[in-house]
Amino acid sequence: MASAIITSAKHGAYVAIGLYLVMVLVVSLSPQSQQAVEPPIQVAHPGIQFELRAHQAMADQADVAGVGGA
């Protein structure tokens, strides 16, 4: 008898924890799905931004290595 009560209580606790986790996920994800995602900077082509960063990184590495014109 006591074993059945304990088993039932455990089952109820697992169900309550599961429902709580589902509720937390729904509440935390719902504001994010309502916002329109816009990039902070509009670029003509995404490759241009990457290309400029790559050239700048190569120039910085050359300066560190002492290849700079100074």
Same structural domain, 2 and 32: yes
Same structural domain, 47 and 62: yes
The parent domain of residue 1 ranges over 1-36
CA 57 to chain centre: 26
Digitized pLDDT (tens) for each residue of the chain, 70 residues in all: 889 999 999 999 999 999 999 999 998 888 776 666 666 666 666 555 555 555 566 656 655 555 555 5
Same structural domain, 8 and 32: yes
Same structural domain, 43 and 25: no
pLDDT of residue 66: 59
CA-to-CA distance for 17 and 28, rounded, in angstroms? 16
Same structural domain, 28 and 2: yes
pLDDT of residue 8: 94
Count how many domains the chain has: 2
Same structural domain, 26 and 54: no
The dihedrals phi and psi of 42, each to the nearest 5 degrees, come to -90, 125
Tell me the helices (H) and strands (E) count for the chain, helix number first. Answer: 2, 0
